[in-house]
Each structure stands twice: as structure tokens, then as C-alpha cells.
Amino acid sequence: MKKIIEKIKNDERVDFDEALKLYDMDLFTLGKLADEKREKRYGKKSFFNINRHINPTNECKDICKFCAFSANRKNPNPYTMSHDEILDIVKDATKEGIKEVHIVSAHNDKVGLEWYLGIFRKIKDLYPDLHIKALTAAEVNFLSESNSLSYEEMIELMIKNGVDSMPGGGAEIFDEEVRERICKGKVSSQNWLKIHELWHKRGRKSNVTMLFGHIEKRPHRIDHMMRIRELQDKTGGFNAFIPLVYQRENNYLKVEDFPTSQEILKTYAISRIVLDNIPHIKAYWVTSTVNLSLIAQEFGADDLDGTIQKESINSAAGAKSANGLKLDEFIHLIKDSGYIPVERDSLYNELKVY
């Protein structure tokens, strides 16, 4: 373990086996190593943005076993918003000073391509300075297949209609055997990475997630990180890595052993160490809880996402995120945890230091 610690302190890359061994390290030793990496980059700054999440439909052709959001017998309340309804939400949210609208939907095969893409164009026409983060790679894959479009053609349409950056959803765990069990029929790991690579080649930025704490094992997480690191070496297009903690309620995965807080914090720390070429590690408070995300700042995380205002996907599975957080509360929480709140835009330009 001493040799691995020396490598980390000397800013040398760890390989797969070394990264896996980090899980066996004492929590606080590991946390200190990750915190040193974080502080070298950002000091005590913790980033957030003022954003609004919108999930316009929960009607989905796929049934991912971990999902409690899509309309099925565990969630028998299907809905699909009209463009006018979405625009009303955006209008109200802009009054709260949002800089980003984050739009992620289910794979609804009852609506057409214009329903998906047209809303971005309408938002951009009304609010040209509002950053639109939308369409996960899973949605891109779904829309490409259902409309007989290549990924390149789909990406061209996204840009033409006003999408500024892509969220990191749909990555789940890249191991295909695990994907076969938890999200069969969804975009493959290879195609998820291909879509983001094509997006990056257009000069656009995106994020990348990892859903953990379900049936995957530690080696699957490390494999996931290694594939991300490899693509980032090629494109440099990922802004942030977001470890998402699996939410246990109202879904079809029969998981009995949930990760402890220590396991979650170790995963944050290891991701900061392994992903030396990803600028930001996000402790997404929606899935990790607010309290644990604040602690994660000491384990390599430098970003807490944002105010969100409304969140439907993870809250359907038990997360306490349905109504977001108020800006002043968010700022006070960061300050009280010993860090400096920094409001950023979607591309991590600093807007205001509190």
C-alpha cells in the first residue's frame, strides 16, 4: 500500500489493480489523499449552480429494474407534458435566477422527435442566454433508433435545436453483464461512450455518471472509471464525474446489502484519485443526501450540483429531493461545512464567490 500512496502523492497514475486496492485502505488515509488532490485544484471552493430540473415524461418503452420513475405497475401515474407546460415551468424558474435548465425524459415512443427537440428550440428562442443541458446518451440512442438516424445526425439536430451540453445519465455501470440484469435493452456501454465521444468532437461538453450500490461489485466501479479515463484522454470533453448512489424504493431490483456511508465516501475519494483528467467530482446531493454530500467535500468532491428546484427521477425511488433546495440554504450549508460557496455556470466559469 505504501507504494500506491507514494504514486498518488507523486501525481502518478494508478492502474486497475492499484485502484481496486484503495478500497482496502483506511477511510481517513484515503480521504486525505483525495482531499489533497482536490485542494491542489480548488482550495476550499465548492461549486454549485442555480438550475432547474425538468422531467417532461415518465412514459418509457424500457423497464430498467433500478428505475422507479418510469410509468409501470410500481408507478401507475403516467404523464407527458405539453410544450406549453414545460415553457411555463421555465418561465417561473427564470424568475428565480436559474442559469441552466436540465431536461431528462423517459424513452417515450408515443411522441415524436419534434416533441423532444422542439422544446429546446422554443426555450432558446425565448431565453437565449439560458444554458440547456439535455438528452442523455440513452435518450440519444433511443431517438436515433426510433427515427432511423445516425448518432451524428442526431447530434447535429440537438445542436441545431439549442442543446448546449449533455448530462451524464444512462451510463449506469458499463459492465455489460450487469447492464443485462439492470437495464436490458438500454444503450450499450460502447454506444454510450461513442455518443459522448462524437459530442465532444463537436466541441461540446458533457458529464458522466456511475450508478453504484446495487448489484455491481467494486471491480465493476473501477472498470467504469478506467473506461471514462481512457475516453477523457482522447477528447477532454467531460466536465464532471458524478457517482450516483442507488435509490432503493419502488423498483424491481432485489438489493439487500446497501453501501455504507464509508463505502460511498471511499468511492468518491477513489474517483478523485483515479480520474486525474476529469476536472470535477460531483457529490450529487439528490442521491447521496445533503449531509453526506457535504462530508464528501473532504473526500475529493468539489461540486454539489445545484438548487434543482424540482426533481422527479430519484425522488420517485426515495430520495428527499422532490422540491430542491433554496439558494440561501444551499450557501449556508456549504459555509457551515467549512467551504467557500462558488456559483458557477454550466461550464464551470465562476460567477460569484460567497
Q: Report the distance separating Cα 113 and Cα 205, nearest Å.
A: 23
Give me the mean pLDDT over the 57-64 stretch. Answer: 79
Confidence category of residue 127, pLDDT binned at 50, 70, 90: very high
**Do 97 and 328 form a contact (C-beta atoms < 8 A)?**
no
Compute how many other C-beta atoms are within 10 angstroms of the C-beta atom of residue 90: 21
Tell me the domains of the chain and their CATH numbers.
2-353 (3.20.20.70)
Which three cell numbers, joined as nine digits, stand for 194? 461513442
Confidence band of 162 (pLDDT split at 50, 70, 90): very high
User: How confident is the model at residue 249, as a pLDDT?
Assistant: 60
Question: Mapping DSSP to helix (H, G, I), strand (E, B) and coil, where does residue 257 land?
Answer: coil
C-beta separation of 104 from 351 below 8 A: no
Residue 311: per-residue pLDDT: 43
Task: Tell me the pairing of strands 350-353 and 340-344.
Answer: antiparallel
Beta carbons within 8 Å of 321's beta carbon, 6+ residues apart: 285, 286, 308, 311, 314, 315
Tell me, yes or no, if the pTM score tops 0.85: yes
- Return all residues near 146 (Cβ < 8 A) that are at least 6 apart: 109
C-alpha 3 chain-centroid distance: 32
* pLDDT score of 313 more than 50: no
Show the cell assigned to 39: 485542494
pLDDT digits (tens, 9 = 90+) for 214-258: 989 999 999 999 999 999 999 999 999 999 998 766 556 677 778
Asked whether the predicted pLDDT for residue 322 surpasses 70, the reply is: no
Residues paired with 238 in a beta bridge: 206
Confidence band, pLDDT 50/70/90 cuts, at residue 314: very low
Question: With 60 as the cut, is the pLDDT of residue 1 above it?
Answer: yes
Secondary structure (3-state) at 115: helix
Please check the confidence at residue 315 and state whether its pLDDT lies above 70: no
Give residue for cell 463505502.
263
Q: Are 48 and 288 in contact (CB under 8 A)?
A: no
Residues 6+ apart with CB under 8 A from 278: 208, 228, 229, 232, 238, 239, 240, 241
The three-state DSSP-derived secondary structure of 168-222 is CCCCCCCCHHHHHHHCCCCCCHHHHHHHHHHHHHCCCCEEEEEEECCCCCHHHHH
Task: Compute the mean pLDDT over every residue in the chain, rounded to the nearest whole number.
Answer: 90
